A = this chain, B = another copy of it.
Amino acid sequence: MEEQAVIQALGALAQATRLRILRYLVTMGPAGAAAGDISKKVGASASRTSFHLSTLADAGLINATRASRSIIYRVDFDAMGAMIGYLVRDCCKSDPRVTTCC
């Protein structure tokens, strides 16, 4: 994973609403959740939620598929793994104080 992509992913997660969205999507697993459901769950307006979903999707941490009228969002666990792997290995040289956390 390239540095610029890592920075974008970190920035995407560095925001309360977006971190809540991601955590919710993790609990929903492969089923994912529709934008409207997410909006209700995190207590944010539709447009605000849409904005944050785009930010997470642009960073590659979630992806979207349309299902009839709804758009379903799902966590991209591989992208999360790539970002975390960068932090652990490239950034922290796999220092034991870091790797023991996983």
Contact = CB atoms under 8 A, between A and B. Distances in A.
Main secondary structure of the interface of A (DSSP, over half): helix
Interface stretch (A37-45, A64-72, A85-93): A85-93
Interface residues of A, number: 39
A35 interface: no
Contacts of A85: 101-102
Interface in A1-40: 3-4, 6-8, 10-11, 13-16, 19, 22-23, 26-27
Interface of A: 3-4, 6-8, 10-11, 13-16, 19, 22-23, 26-27, 75, 77-78, 80-82, 84-85, 87-95, 97-102
19 contacts: A3-B16, A4-B16, A7-B14, A8-B14, A10-B13, A14-B14, A22-B91, A23-B91, A77-B92, A77-B95, A78-B97, A80-B91, A80-B98, A81-B101, A82-B101, A84-B92, A85-B102, A98-B102, A101-B102
